[in-house]
Structure 1
Amino acid sequence: MSDAEPRHAGVSRRRRIVRRVVVGLCVLAVIATVGVVVAYRQLEGNINAVQIDLGTDRPEQVEVEGPKEPLNVLVMGSDERSGSGIGGETPGLSDTTMLLHLSADRKRAYGVSLPRDLMVDRPDCTGKKGRTVPGAKTQFNAAYNVGGPGCTVRTVEAITNVRIDHFVVINFAGFKDMVDAVNGVKVCVPNEVNDDIGKIYLPAGTYKVNGQQALDYVRVRHGLGLENGDIGRMKRQQAFIASMIEKVVSRGTLANPVRLYNFLDAATSSLTTDRGFAQLRQLASLGSSLQDIGLDNIQFITVPNEPYTADTNRLQFAPEADALWRRIRFDRPLGPLAADAVVPGRKPGELPSDDATKNPSGSPSSASPSTSPSPTTTPDQAAARAAAEAERKRIAEEAGLCA
């Protein structure tokens, strides 16, 4: 400090600098806060909420033990075009339907795919212009065309006796944007796809697909797997969803604010839900629950089915389906029904490492769980592992997935 400059002048300058820094930080904080509020309102404003008529003849909610109530969310994929109006004159089609169940203790979650070709007893539904459409024996996916998500929810409740808490409809156009927002999702295509019927063409191999390729992959029904393309397609959809969940919960997405916002913007823009689920905090709670559950405890299966008696080109519930609906109603694990489940981070049908001694049906092998594992593999254990691997490969090949 020079002799000509008083001591208090330097102190005053430092105070001014500190004050400017504090003011600057406050301005940044205000800008950030305003940005968060605007982003929150923007995302929540994207969601389309509709009121649906489910009537009074609904399944009762079964009381189970847990810190929370179990949650059943019916997820539908729609090819509806913008402006058509869900539940209006042209509700579109829904060829993808999955019942997502979260346990009351939030320690497990599983999704059950329902084939579009299932023959079911559709109940009376509120159709176009509010008219009642009498129930009928019909193909499952016709319910959406009759009365949108409301009729689909009523149909699922009628054929499963499972009460649906909320529904979500995802528009396929928005689905593409969701994939692009996370910079693509990895898939494995075992054989080159040249589907002239659906105009879908995909190269063989393991690679990252963009939005349009992802949509083609989850919709292709020909050129992969068995002739009954819908079952294989559902398994490929399950594998893709598992891969997408893995990508979304990775640090590459969650730690990237721009990528995360773009994903949430695309996701909420493509959603139609019931009014009770149209709040961002509700959807955030669902996402948080799935993240806390952990990837290893999220499973995707297809409802047990068999050829329809009157027409083998259609499907009907297999006897094992009753056990599945009971497990959902009473909030029980899938057990043996998860033998060929798709799990994020695993190959289709692959068993976790601690289940290596289980057979393909999910039942324990002769090895006692109470004893310490032997460092050597017994012939029975080796045979069980070989059988499980052979079954896994068979399931994957039939579904048009990489083994």
Structure 2
Amino acid sequence: MSSAPTARPRRGLRVAATVASVAILLTSGAGWAAANRYGNQIIRVDAGTSGGALEDGEPLTMLVVASDDRAGLSYQQRKALHLGYDDYGQHTDTMMLVHLSGDGQSISVVSLPRDTRATIPAFTDSEGKRHSSRAGKLNVAYAVGGPKLMVETVEKMTGITIDHYAEINFQGFLTMVDALGGVEVCLPRATTDKNSGLDLPAGKQTVNGAQALAYVRARYIDPTADIGRMKRQQKFVAAMASKALSAGTLTNPVTVDNFLSAVASSMKTDDSLGTDQMLDLVDRFKGISPGRIAMTTVPISGNVRDAELGDVLIWDKVKSAELFAAIRDDKPLVSPKPAKSVTVAPGTIRVKVLNGTDVQGLGATAATDLAAVGFVVVGTPANAPATVGETTVIRYDSEWSESVKTLAASLPGAKLVAVKGFGPTFEITVGSAYTAAQKVKVVSASPSATADKPRTAADDLCS
């Protein structure tokens, strides 16, 4: 039996590459001509995907990977970023199934651990040599057979037909983060890792591209090793997707252009994913809420020692089968969140809305949203005396501490500022991360979420 070469262990990029999919959606603000320009920068490869037509109402599944390709980075940059300096082939430590629902209302992302024990199908290499089917870790499929073998391996393991393929490299990740002006992360304690170059203080903070790369690559700071790192990366991509879809990004043509240019110049897709297909995706998902972008990891039954492969992860047969069946049936990972439960009805709450950003008309948009979910909007929305950054600010009289809970439920993540004697009208200064006002209902508090619930792009970073 012929054997394929064994991939050398790498500290490759393990970022949740779902951002590549989010980037495609952002072309909604760019128009066909701009989308065509971005599309022409993307490298197309034969990934063996089905190239499914993007018909209205039809779901679509992509395999999105992140490779450790160092193209575009100088020797000095590689050294500063702790990436190593040799070029002995590309590898991927990130593999994710990204399922786009047929109704355009949800995106489900499933991380596939690189150390999964897999069966690599028989294949013919670039030199025409035939290799028999063999056991190996999942990321070996990419190392020895590229995108096409990676797609075939994942399809056989999951039973899911992969319609399209996307791949992003180190350079793309760095420039995407910087194009957004950084991305917010939350660390429970000050953390350093000499192998990745990570050195960050505790708490919420905005990191640049280099810091973000160290954050998602750090291997030795999680007691649960790769699984812990994968969950940390899911938090990061959730924060990145949320910022990319925020009003402050979507209405800023310079930011959108920089972000999409960063992606396009460092991304590969299958040869059937063209500009028209990208624009079809835009039309379907341009209104999606971060709370409907859910991420999880394929269920694991254990970590075992294989005599030939070393430590490998074994998928839970029952739970993973249920997960992949749900995706095949186009069922979202999380159900739409019910309206927030509060004790004071929105119709009894008067609000004044100010625009605390440089985004023209955002205050008026928020006022319309708040009125639509039942609040009483007084006056005409105006510009605030000063900008407030990303976070929306609610100023209120401390005597109305119960009523403010209704506003906080409708505007999750808003900062509450109590001002004694402020009066019965609440003042809302909209931040650039504003997306929409949520419905609330006046009933008893809803039960708390379970610990193993899939993560969404709207969840608190520090949770």
Mark yes or no: TM-score above 0.5. Answer: yes
SS in 2 for 1:81: coil
Q: What fraction of aligned residue pairs are identical, expressed as a percent? A: 39
Which amino acid in structure 2 is aligned with residue 307 of structure 1? G
Aligned to 1:5: none
Check 1:90–1:46 CA distance in 2 against 1; reply closer, same or farther (3 A cut).
farther
Which amino acid in structure 2 is aligned with residue 402 of structure 1? C
Match of 2:167 among 158, 166, 169: 169
SS in 2 for 1:162: coil
**Conservation of the 8 A alpha-carbon contact between 2:48 and 2:151:** no
Matches of 1:130 and 1:43 in 2, distance apart?
34
**Conservation of the 8 A alpha-carbon contact between 1:307 and 1:313:** no
Is 1:292 aligned to residue 287 of structure 2? yes
SS in 2 for 1:158: helix
Aligned to 1:148: 146
Is 1:75 aligned to residue 64 of structure 2? yes
**Conservation of the 8 A alpha-carbon contact between 2:190 and 2:200:** yes
Check 1:161–1:41 CA distance in 2 against 1; reply closer, same or farther (3 A cut).
closer
Aligned to 2:328: 329
**Conservation of the 8 A alpha-carbon contact between 1:119 and 1:308:** no
Matches of 2:225 and 2:191 in 1, distance apart?
13
Matches of 1:252 and 1:217 in 2, distance apart?
24
Matches of 1:298 and 1:73 in 2, distance apart?
14
How far the C-alpha of 1:288 sits from its partner, in A, is 4.5
Unaligned runs of 5+ in 2: 1-29, 73-86, 338-390, 392-408, 411-440, 456-460
Check 1:67–1:261 CA distance in 2 against 1; reply closer, same or farther (3 A cut).
closer
Matches of 1:39 and 1:106 in 2, distance apart?
23
Unaligned runs of 5+ in 1: 1-34, 84-88, 339-344, 346-352, 355-372, 396-400
Aligned to 2:266: 270
Matches of 2:63 and 2:295 in 1, distance apart?
14
Check 1:125–1:289 CA distance in 2 against 1; reply closer, same or farther (3 A cut).
farther
200-209 or 114-123, which deviates more = 200-209
Matches of 1:328 and 1:38 in 2, distance apart?
33
SS in 1 for 2:127: helix
Aligned to 1:237: 233
197-206 or 243-252, which deviates more = 197-206
Tell me how large the CA RMSD over aligned residues is.
3.4
Check 1:255–1:375 CA distance in 2 against 1; reply closer, same or farther (3 A cut).
closer
**Conservation of the 8 A alpha-carbon contact between 1:73 and 1:99:** yes
Which amino acid in structure 1 is aligned with residue 67 of structure 2? S
Check 1:290–1:218 CA distance in 2 against 1; reply closer, same or farther (3 A cut).
farther
How far the C-alpha of 1:164 sits from its partner, in A, is 0.2
SS in 2 for 1:292: coil
1:221-370 correspondence runs (5 A): 221-224=219-222, 226=223, 228-277=224-273, 279-311=274-306, 313-318=311-316, 319-334=318-333
1:356-395 correspondence runs (5 A): 375=443, 385=448, 388=449, 391=451
Check 1:276–1:321 CA distance in 2 against 1; reply closer, same or farther (3 A cut).
same
SS in 1 for 2:105: coil
Structure 1 or 2: more strand by fraction: 2
If the length of structure 1 is used for normalisation, what is the TM-score?
Answer: 0.68
**Conservation of the 8 A alpha-carbon contact between 1:125 and 1:146:** no
Matches of 1:50 and 1:376 in 2, distance apart?
54
Is 1:218 aligned to residue 207 of structure 2? no
SS in 2 for 1:265: helix
How far the C-alpha of 1:76 sits from its partner, in A, is 0.2
SS in 2 for 1:223: coil
Is 1:51 aligned to residue 40 of structure 2? no
112-121 or 201-210, which deviates more = 201-210
**Conservation of the 8 A alpha-carbon contact between 1:113 and 1:303:** yes
Which amino acid in structure 2 is aligned with residue 48 of structure 1? I
1:87-166 correspondence runs (5 A): 91-166=89-164
How far the C-alpha of 1:261 sits from its partner, in A, is 0.6
Is 1:193 aligned to residue 191 of structure 2? yes
How far the C-alpha of 1:128 sits from its partner, in A, is 3.4
Matches of 1:80 and 1:192 in 2, distance apart?
30
Deviations 1:352-383 (A, max 9, x none): x89xxxxxxxxxxxxxxxxxx88556xxx7xx
**Conservation of the 8 A alpha-carbon contact between 1:91 and 1:148:** no
How far the C-alpha of 1:175 sits from its partner, in A, is 0.9
Check 1:286–1:38 CA distance in 2 against 1; reply closer, same or farther (3 A cut).
closer
If the length of structure 2 is used for normalisation, what is the TM-score?
Answer: 0.60
Matches of 1:301 and 1:130 in 2, distance apart?
38
How far the C-alpha of 1:104 sits from its partner, in A, is 1.5
Check 1:242–1:289 CA distance in 2 against 1; reply closer, same or farther (3 A cut).
farther
Check 1:103–1:91 CA distance in 2 against 1; reply closer, same or farther (3 A cut).
farther
Check 1:184–1:199 CA distance in 2 against 1; reply closer, same or farther (3 A cut).
closer
How far the C-alpha of 1:314 sits from its partner, in A, is 2.1
How far the C-alpha of 1:234 sits from its partner, in A, is 1.4
Which amino acid in structure 2 is aligned with residue 49 of structure 1? R
How far the C-alpha of 1:260 sits from its partner, in A, is 0.9
Give every structure 1 segment of 4 or more consecutive aligned residues whose post-TM-superposition deviation is greater than 4 Å.
Answer: 35-41, 309-312, 373-377
**Conservation of the 8 A alpha-carbon contact between 1:128 and 1:146:** no
Matches of 1:315 and 1:145 in 2, distance apart?
18
How far the C-alpha of 1:287 sits from its partner, in A, is 4.3
